[in-house]
Each structure stands twice: as C-alpha cells, then as structure tokens.
Structure 1
C-alpha cells in the first residue's frame, strides 16, 4: 500500500522563527535574542524581534491553516517565554499564550505536535554554562514537567528536542549559531551528553505528567545515498550514514552519536574508540535515563550526499556540474527520502516521521498578486514520491511535516531564505498562500495518492 490511513500530514514552524513579541508578556531573552545583537552574526543584522508576528496573529494563522487543509501542526514552545529565568516560577502570561494556541488548534481540528526545545535557550541559563552545566538536564526536566502538567489531555504528541546536531554543532562547535561558541571537542561531547540526558529526563516527565503521549525527538545529521543500485553501493551508503567521522566537528553531526545512546543504550563503538580520551564520565544510570523508550524516530531532512563503494569502504561522489540546487544552495536529492527512512528503520526499528522537509526558493509576489512557486511544487512531488516508495516497501512511515508553514526568520540567514508555503510580506505582515500551499492541500486530501 501507499501511505497508511493513519498517516499524518502536517506543517511545521518554531517559536523564535515566527512569533516575534520578543519582549512581550513577560518573556525572557533567549540565546538567539542575544546572538542577533552581535554585529555581523546574522544576515543584514536582522532579528526575530517581530518575525511573522505570530504572537499577535496566531488565530488568523490557524484559520488559514484550516482553510488550507493542514491537519497537524508542529510548533515549539519558547522556554524563556514560559520560564523567563530558565527555572523557578512559571510566567503565566507566556503559558497562557500557548494554551490559547493549542485551544485554537483543537477548535479548528488541527492536531498539535509540540516541540519542547527548538533552539531558543534561556539566556540566563546560558550565563550559567548552558548545556555544559551538569544541572542543565534537571533544568530541562522541570520545564518539561511544567508543560506536561499544563497540557495533559490536550497535547498527545511531543518532540523533546529539535536537531541537537545543529544547536551543538553550530552553536557550541562552529560558532555559526547561537550562542556563537567555538569550544573544544571535550566540551562539545560534554554538552552532547547533557543534551541526551535532558531528552531522557524530559521523556520520563512527559509520560509521568502528560497522560498518554507519543514521544520522540527530531534529528537531522549526515545522510548518504548510493550512487547506483548496486548492492555494494547501497552498503557503502549505509555504512557512511552510521559511521562517526574522525573530525570532532563532523562527528557532532553523526546519526549514530545521537541515536545509538537513545535506541541502543550505548554510545557508538567507533565514537568511543576515536575520542576515548575526550569523553565525559558516563555512568550506567546515565545511559538508562538516555535510553528511555520513545515512540518514533523523527528526521528533519533536505538532502543527502551520494557515495560509492571502494576497496577501502566508501567515498563521496561529487555532484555533476550544474546540479539543481535550492535558493539556499542545497542540492536537490529527492532519493534521500527513500534511503534515509530505509536505513533508519532497518537499524532502529521505529516508526519514521519526517518532521521537516522543504526548500527555500526565490519567491516573490507576481503582478497578479499571487506567489507562483513551481520549483517548490516540483521539489515536493519528487521528494514525496520517494517517501511513498519507502512506504510501499513496508517501512513504517508515520507522517510528514512540510517545512515550513510560512516564511520565517531563518537563523543566521535572517529573512534571506523563504521556505514557507505561505508568503510573508515582512513590511505589512500580509499572508499570501503560495501555489505550493494549494498543491499540498490536494496531496493531503488524497493521502498522497496523486503526486
């Protein structure tokens, strides 16, 4: 069969990227609020202070989602909007905002899929060491418990953390993202361990206080596809996907580094061998917390690297000249939506949810007042065709969330990139559904049978 009758079709966004209201309702600063104030850190000095003004316009945005047939919405809570000081007393104004959002979603028959952490870490906790502080998993657990208690019976699907590879690899390793640090390998691996502990503690809190819930986390990482249909190339791509690179900055983007501890209760053997002298003290109790059972494997994926088999194992295959790329200069490799779920499902045996996929395009309002984005439609058609191929091979594919619901603040790229299926005019805050929004509506209506 193609996509199951229970397949979830949704759209995704995140708090800092769309909300704005950066100093309203008692919200505290996040590391991204502070990072955006650093000269040269973000494209053209742009910030998320206003973004898409979703903080004030969420009801209209949800009404548009309903009109476009969106059935599930992956959003994120802003930790410093709920805990301005990172811990301690709840900011009721901030909590009430999300209660209103969830209430509005339910009223419009849109299923909320909530992410606890999508990178906007409380600045006050960062000043105490952030993810390097051994208390950081406990801070996150308190935050998860507060969310679980408040939304018991209303939110049934949670992602604990979004793309740990990025906020550690780019935020603590390469300095490209907030908080803009370039730390040692040992410090980065300590942060990795604390993030994984935070995830495990959050899973326990969500299950204890949130009622019957489905829980996972949204990962990204280095994904490889075979250059040909030869069995040896397939094996080379599988091996490349799960190997931990020798360079610690590349290792931070490893699939296995973040997934083996959760699903297998241990760090990858090659990781332990390559970095044995740089690892923090890791106890059996730690691994028990990290490997709390979760319900699905969520993957954010946009492209893959092609490889072929060699006598030594594998090597990357350069893309041909003129390779099709998105506006963000990412290669268009739709086959990744087949190979990635296949490799992940075969290794970890968990239902796969594509929690982000989409493309940045050079979108503009045409003379007819509409936004025509045929490249995005073509991209989605190709990618979803490969995802459907995976589903036909009895790989358990549970859902697909398009990135993103609307154009937004794209981190260090500011507003330069447009990923949305809804166009945002940032001067007027006008919303215009793009052609891709109406195309996606039809895909959802037929459960992906007609692409």
Structure 2
C-alpha cells in the first residue's frame, strides 16, 4: 500500500482481473433446442422431488437467447473477464462422436461478442452437466470418461482455442461426490464407493484435458478450480482437530494431493481402504493427474467450524446453527479471512507457487427484490468488499493472486435449490426474464473503474 493510499482503502495492481462467473446449465436454458443433447441435470431436475418446487432448469435465465443483452450488462459493469462454462451436450449431443455445429456457432458468437466488448473470455470445460448419453454408460464412475473428456476437450480447443486466453478443465470436482456419493446432485446416486471413484476419474480426465491442450494450437493457459472451505476445529481438542482434517481430506485435499503429489495422502488411503471405498488407482495415474497446470483457481466463500460433540456432516444444511459466528442473513458465516487461509494453505501445505485466481466468491440473499426500479443489496456489497479487501491485502503481502470473479453475474438456476436463491449482481425476474442491475453491480463497477475497494 502506497503512502498516498488512505488506510481505509485497498488498491489493486495494474493487470489485476475483475470478473464475474456463471455456468452453462445455470443460465442458458434452451435445454433441447438446436440439436442439444440431454444432460444429467436435465434428467435430474425434470424428475419430481429432486429440486426446489420441482422447477427444472429448462429455461434457467434464458441466456441462450439473451446473450447479447447479458454482454451489454457485463460491459456496463466494466468486467475485465467473464468466466463461463460450455455445455458438453450442446456441442456433442451424445457425449462423443457427432458434433452439433449449431452449438459450436452459439459459443463462437458468444466468444466473439465478448471480445468485441473488450471482455476476456475464461472458459470452463465442465461445470457439472454431463451428457446423459455418457451417464447411461456409467458416467464419471466409468474410467472410460477419461477418453470421452479428452475427445471433448480436443474439439473445444480446436474450435475456440484461437480466441480464449484462459481455460479451466473442471469446476469443483467435489460436486461429483455430491452427485455420485450423496445423491443430492445429478445423477442422484448415493454410493460412497462410486462417489470416490468418480472423484479420482475426474482428476484423470483433468490431466488428459491438460495434455490435449498442450498438444493443440490453443493459446493462453489452463488450470483447474477447487472449492476451498477450510475446516476450523471448534476447540483445541484432538477430536475436533482430527475431524477438521478429515473433513478437509474429503472436501478438497483429495484433489490437491492428486494434483501436486500424484495420489491421495497415506492418511486418506488408509481411511478409505478401511471403509471399503478406496477408488481404483493404476500406476499410470500418478503421471496423468500431475499434468502441469498454469494456474490454480480457488472458489472461496467462508469457513466451516466443526465440533466432534455437535457434528453435522451436511454442514451446509445447518447454516446459522453450527459453531462459528458473525452470520449473514442467509445463515452463512461472514469470514473474509477464509480467502487468505486458502491461499496460505495451498502454498504452505502443497508448495504451490502457481498464479492464483479467486474464481468464485459471492452470496445469496433472500431479500433481493426490485423496488421502484432498483434492487438494494447492501449486505452483498459488504460481503464482497470484505473479500476483495482481503484479496488486495494478500496481494500487497506477496500472494500471487491475479484476479477475482464474483459469483454470479445473474440470479441463476442454483442446482437443487432451483430458483430459490439469488447470487447475482444482476436481478432476474424469473417470470419475465427482465434484468435489473442491483446496487452491488453499480458498486462493483466503481471498484473496477477505480481499481480499489474501501474497507468496511
């Protein structure tokens, strides 16, 4: 921080990337238009009892038809970059083989529109919407997914690789545990052994996609995005400390271990083997999962305080009642230090010296309503300001954080929560699809324009 900078402000260096993020299934809609194949989320959300109020993501927020309007909103906010995902089944309706050229043309128009608006596209290959045709063959639990994903990645790099400077292979592979181990997400399988195998297969697929990127003529850089919710023991008891470490092993250390050491830690292997849910690992896997990446994306929202005496393995269902404090109106703890904790952890525990991006950070608020043409969301502004200031201080202290993406650009379709949650900088009326900039969007525009954030 320079001497001229007031103590109440945190400034960001030139080149720091301010962005917003979405995912294909959560915004596109047009679930069966123009040759798109069915995805596991189409099937899951259309099945009664799986999602809030049985509202499927068939329309989501209609980005497929409103992408130009949404780019205009991004430009008005002043985003440096827009992080979004591709629908695998829109490009390859059967998951492999036949290419849907209408899908290719849609994403090509979107990429070109972003570039024309001066917004850098950052593309995620996989954000949870596997083609149903591949799920019918076992999906992520079938090791053949590694070859299927490599084929898909090669197609994407061939068609779009000349215009996209930053790529993510997989967003939050822990979602595979939620979908295959717990059954809460698509495809709705609750089998712990299957869930762990899906997690490992995802890391293999990631590695093969990185190899496909290196073999292609695509420009730019490639990485992966992990969801980091640090577990803090409620007390210094051995039981609480062991529980915190175990939860981190299951939540994100499994993936960090594979990325940076080639296999799960001995501690994880011992426990999963004893439980009979250890995934199959082949000798070649160690090389594949460690394919060198160019950056690491961290999705950081808060921490989880765990207590062995009062433990809820589904902590997200106990928001506002688990140990901790400083709760927001949505029940989540406001803990900006979680960002620095995540950055420090990957450096100290895994020796990571790669550039880092905060690829998601945001908050769902229950009271986001349009009143007299405006949406007042001061709590979102306070939340984002806290985490952005934390990121800026970490950069000033030497952390190699290159950018920050707000989740999310729009009030989108929030998976099993359907349309019940609102994370967007932009309000969406789900009955008309009308977009309204929230106060937080205008605040973020000011942050981007001035490259600084006032601490709150």
TM-score (normalised: structure 1): 0.90
Cα-to-partner distance string for 1:43-63 (whole Å, 9 max, x where unaligned): 001111111110011011101
Alignment of 1:39-438 (within 5 A): 39-166=48-175, 168-183=176-191, 185-224=192-231, 243-245=245-247, 251-253=249-251, 255-276=252-273, 278-306=277-305, 319=323, 323-327=326-330, 329-347=331-349, 348-438=352-442
In structure 2, relative to structure 1, the CA distance for the partners of 1:132 and 1:367 (3 Å cut) is closer
How far is the alpha carbon of 1:290 from its aligned partner?
Answer: 0.8
On the 8 A contact 2:181/2:196 being kept in 1, the answer is no
What is the alpha-carbon distance in structure 2 between the residues aligned to residue 307 and residue 174 of structure 1? Answer: 20
SS in 2 for 1:399: strand
Deviations 1:208-246 (A, max 9, x none): 214332111111144135889xxx99xx999977x344x
278-287 or 383-392, which deviates more: 278-287
Contact preservation (8 Å) 2:21, 2:83:
yes
Which residue does 1:313 correspond to in 2? none
Deviations 1:300-352 (A, max 9, x none): 121102479xxxxxxx996367x42243x322222212211121233322222
| Native 8 Å contact 1:145 1:209 kept in 2 | yes
Counterpart secondary structure, 2:452: coil
The farther-off stretch of 111-120 and 382-391 is: 382-391
Q: SS in structure 1 opposite 2:121?
A: strand
SS at match of 1:349: coil
**Which runs of 5 or more residues in structure 2 are unaligned?**
2-10, 308-314, 316-320
1:449 Cα deviation from its structure 2 partner: 4.6
**Contact preservation (8 Å) 2:258, 2:264:** yes
C-alpha distance in structure 2 between counterparts of 1:300 and 1:158, whole Å: 15
Write the distance in 2 (CA, Å) between the matches of 1:318 and 1:416: 22
Question: 2:229, 2:436 → 1: CA distance?
Answer: 34
- CA separation of 1:99/1:334 partners in 2, compared to 1, >3 Å: closer, same or farther? same
Q: Which moved more, 1:364-373 or 1:49-58?
A: 364-373
Structure 1: 5+ residue runs without aligned partners?
A: 309-315
CA RMSD of superposed structures (Å): 2.5
State the alpha-carbon separation in 2 of the partners of residues 275 and 101 from structure 1.
43
Normalising by structure 2, we get a TM-score of 0.89
Using the alignment, how far apart are the partners of 2:243 and 2:103 within structure 1? 43
